[in-house]
Chain A
Amino acid sequence: MQDEAAVLRRRDLLSLIGAMAGSAAMYHAMTSLGFASESRYQGPLKLEGDPKGASVLILGAGLAGMTAALELRKAGYQVKLLEFNSRPGGRNWTLRGGDSFTELGGATQTCEFEPGLYINPGPWRIPYHHRALLDYCRRLNVALEPFIQLNHNAFLHASRAFDGAPQRIRAVKADFQGQVSELLAKATKQGKLDEAVTKEDQEILLQALRSWGALDRDYSYNANLHSSEYRGYATAPGGGLTAMPVPSEPIGLSDILKSSLWRYLQNFANYNFQTTMFQPVGGMDMIGKAFAKELGDIIRYNARVTKIQQNDHAVTVTYVDTAKPAIVQTATAHWCVCTIPLSILSQVELDVSAPMRSAIEAVPYAGSVKIGLQFKRRFWEEDDAIYGGISYTDLPIRQIAYPNTGYNRSGRGVLLGAYLFDGANSYEFTAMPPQERVARAVEFGAALHPQYTDEFENGIAVAWHRVPFTLGCSGDWSEDARKQHYANLCQIDGRIVLAGEHASALPAWQEGAILSALDAITRLHERVVKT
């Protein structure tokens, strides 16, 4: 009751603020009172004050660089971008049929997907609380559709449990919840929680466990039509004479525990993976392309930066055209926003202070591998009724992700046949030739979907340590390194400021890249307007 009173008082205060000062002020007040604080994004950036013709050279046309370019140009700066690739977006990237990709070491793969099918080798999902990215999508007219993180009918698979048979997420989730509820109900009734829970609350707890865990009248979880409403039926309800459903048999607690399937359930609870998640219609690179279209011809592609120098007046960047590396060119501006990944920046000749240099050298880059596989038909939908979402396995492919678009169509489809992030398997897959990565993904995936063997057509594999423009997937900060170096990395150093996912507390997320760029240019602008 005390809590309720406190909430009411807070609510009264808010409505008072709302009535007196309008909804914007109320929103601000809510944020500072601890509500609505799910994002650090403050809405479209307003850089006030005249930059008086100042110029900014931006290195890297990924989401961080292009965000900085868009906002600085709007604020009156002269802006130019240098980009290593021949396309915008950086890690915001989609591979479609006809695209070719040459990895470090020289292996070239040409994507053979049918038109309309694709994989996103980099980022592929957007949490609802990534408000900055979502706002740019809205402003740049990038259409979004749901990304299915949790599909109850996808699989959890442990190669050494249940004779290797994949289990439906629905059943594992319902059974784990049911078995744990039964156990807790038993402990409650035996008085074992008497010290921790009042008698009154124990009554409520028992009701809650029965409801949440699909327990029967005696607080036990077993095969009946009620538990089947959660975990699914042995024979589903039908029509006419044969309509009556038959309950299914739950998995025992010990079997779930020993199988380790419970460890995948966190993928549906984690804040970053909660519904609703989004993906751009047609591929993640729709975002990068939309930024680039807005920016027009201020992006210089195929430019490899070799040196970044600064003095009291300007920053000079030396670069070569990737097609004509013998011809050395320079670009000069008053200021520089550098979004080059630290894996590469640590190798570039760069005029910055020792603390920033140490910070740049303190961040290793994580390994990650994604493998796209095209099949003759969407058997996961036709045969298994899996529409979007992700299956998890302890096999070295770790995940199989189903397309969250084009549902229920006949004809070909593309799966994400492996997604490795960090850990031994990501290195092992990186070390293989691309064709073998694809072949191994098909081999392992057949344990979940035997249809692989007959239906597989072609595939493409991206190992991020082999990607020429990043040399890794994302900045892999240790806690110690962050404590020691993060602030130094983010400081404006003379006329240079860094941005990118590596300069954020949202590593490997596009939102981190954008928030980092917004923060960096806000500070840069303050400095420019003051001087």
Chain B
Amino acid sequence: MTRVRTMGFAASLALVAGAALAQNGPRTFSSGYRFVEMSGEELYHNVCRGCHMMDAQGASGAGSYPSLAANRNLEAAGYPITMVVRGRRGMPPFGDMMNDAQIAAVVNYLRTHFGNSYSDVVTAQDVRDAR
């Protein structure tokens, strides 16, 4: 469960592939199957953003990833907890890749960002109970 932190990355690579790389800051990488990111913000940015996108607006092709922005489904905290733990349809389950505290953190982050402002806080115990 060690993490690989990339520091000084921008400096060494700007030489290689031009200015576009200079904007890359440090980033956390997991070493195994499970995620090492702990904060809700970092989990959203390194995991959820892959499908739900930077602004949480989702995306559409032959099928869609739902928007999580100003999303009423997040009002009852049990719903996003279950989604993250078990997945739904094409969405993979993250119950084995994140612990209770990580899932609580990312759910809390979602429920207080992107036009969502639900003030009740989800705890690791809530996630444990939902498993």
The answer to whether A349 has its CB under 8 Å from any CB of chain B is no
Is A439 within 8 A of B17, CB to CB? yes
**Complex contacts, A361 vs chain B, CB 8 Å:** 88-89
The answer to whether A371 has its CB under 8 Å from any CB of chain B is no
Closest residue of chain B to A422, judged by CB? Answer: B33
Is B50 within 8 A of A84, CB to CB? no
Selected contact of A395 from candidates B4, B13, B49, CB within 8 Å: B4
Chain B interfacial positions (CB closer than 8 Å to A): 4, 6, 9, 12-13, 15-17, 20-21, 24, 27-36, 45-51, 53-54, 59-65, 87-93, 97
Closest residue of chain A to B53, judged by CB? Answer: A105
User: Given known contacts A347-B89, A443-B12, is B4 in contact with A396 (CB within 8 Å)?
Assistant: yes
**Complex contacts, A440 vs chain B, CB 8 Å:** 6, 9, 24, 27
Is B64 within 8 A of A435, CB to CB? no
A346 to B63, CA, bound (A): 9
**Complex contacts, B54 vs chain A, CB 8 Å:** 105
Selected contact of A424 from candidates B17, B30, B90, CB within 8 Å: B30
Is B47 within 8 A of A428, CB to CB? yes
Identify which of A178-186, A187-195, A249-257, A468-476 touches chain B: A468-476
**Complex contacts, B24 vs chain A, CB 8 Å:** 436, 439-440
The answer to whether A334 has its CB under 8 Å from any CB of chain B is no
Closest residue of chain B to A463, judged by CB? Answer: B50
Is A344 within 8 A of B62, CB to CB? yes
Q: How far is the CB of B64 from chain A (nearest CB, A)?
A: 6
Selected contact of A442 from candidates B13, B27, B88, CB within 8 Å: B13
User: Given known contacts A105-B59, A424-B32, A442-B17, is B65 in contact with A471 (CB within 8 Å)?
Assistant: yes
**Complex contacts, A438 vs chain B, CB 8 Å:** 17
Interface residues of A in 452-480 (CB under 8 A from B): 452-453, 456, 458, 463, 465-472, 476
Per-position contact with B for A374-418: 1 when CB-CB < 8 Å, else 0?
000000000000000000001110000000000000000000000
Selected contact of A439 from candidates B13, B33, B46, B63, CB within 8 Å: B13
The answer to whether A367 has its CB under 8 Å from any CB of chain B is yes
User: Given known contacts A105-B53, A346-B90, A364-B87, is B12 in contact with A471 (CB within 8 Å)?
Assistant: no
Is B46 within 8 A of A344, CB to CB? no
Interface residues of A in 335-360 (CB under 8 A from B): 340-344, 346-348
A40 to B98, CA, bound (A): 38
Closest residue of chain B to A305, judged by CB? Answer: B62
Selected contact of A84 from candidates B4, B6, B62, CB within 8 Å: B62
Is B16 within 8 A of A456, CB to CB? yes
Closest residue of chain B to A426, judged by CB? Answer: B50
Is A431 within 8 A of B89, CB to CB? no
The answer to whether A113 has its CB under 8 Å from any CB of chain B is no
**Complex contacts, B9 vs chain A, CB 8 Å:** 439-440, 443
The answer to whether A104 has its CB under 8 Å from any CB of chain B is yes
**Complex contacts, B6 vs chain A, CB 8 Å:** 440, 443
Is B92 within 8 A of A367, CB to CB? yes
The answer to whether A366 has its CB under 8 Å from any CB of chain B is yes
**Complex contacts, A468 vs chain B, CB 8 Å:** 61-62
**Complex contacts, A346 vs chain B, CB 8 Å:** 63, 89-90
Those 4 A-B pairs whose CB atoms lie nearest each other, nearest first: A468-B61, A343-B90, A424-B30, A430-B50
Q: How far is the CB of B44 from chain A (nearest CB, A)?
A: 9
Is A424 within 8 A of B33, CB to CB? yes
Q: How far is the CB of A244 from chain B (nearest CB, A)?
A: 43
